[in-house]
Amino acid sequence: MPAIQGRLARMRVTASDPDGLVHVTVGAHGELLDVRLDPRVSRQTDGVALAGTVVRAAAAARVRAEAEAGELVRPLTDRRRGEPVDIRFDPVLAEIERLLAEPPELPRLDGQPSPGEHDLPALRTDLMRAQARLREVRATAVSRDGQVTVTVGGRGELLGLELDDRALRRSDSRALAGAVVATAKDAFAKVAR
Which domains are delineated in the chain?
Answer: 1-136 (3.30.1310.10)
In tens, the pLDDT along 29-67 reads 999 999 999 988 877 668 899 999 999 999 999 999 998
Predicted confidence (pLDDT) at residue 118 exceeds the cutoff of 80: no
Q: What does the pLDDT read at residue 52?
A: 95
Q: What does the pLDDT read at residue 82?
A: 78
End-to-end CA distance of the chain: 27
**Rounded Cα–Cα distance for residues 142 and 162 (Å):** 9
For 125-180, give the DSSP string. Answer: HHHHHHHHHHHH-EEEEE-TTS-EEEEEETTS-EEEEEE-HHHHHHS-HHHHHHHH
Q: What does the pLDDT read at residue 107?
A: 62
pLDDT band at 117 (very low <50, low <70, confident <90, very high): low
Nearest 5°: the CA angle 166, 167, 173 is 140
In tens, the pLDDT along 97-115 reads 888 887 766 666 666 665 5
Residues in Cβ contact with 44 at an 8 Å cutoff, skipping those fewer than 6 apart: 50, 168
Give pTM, 2 decimals: 0.83
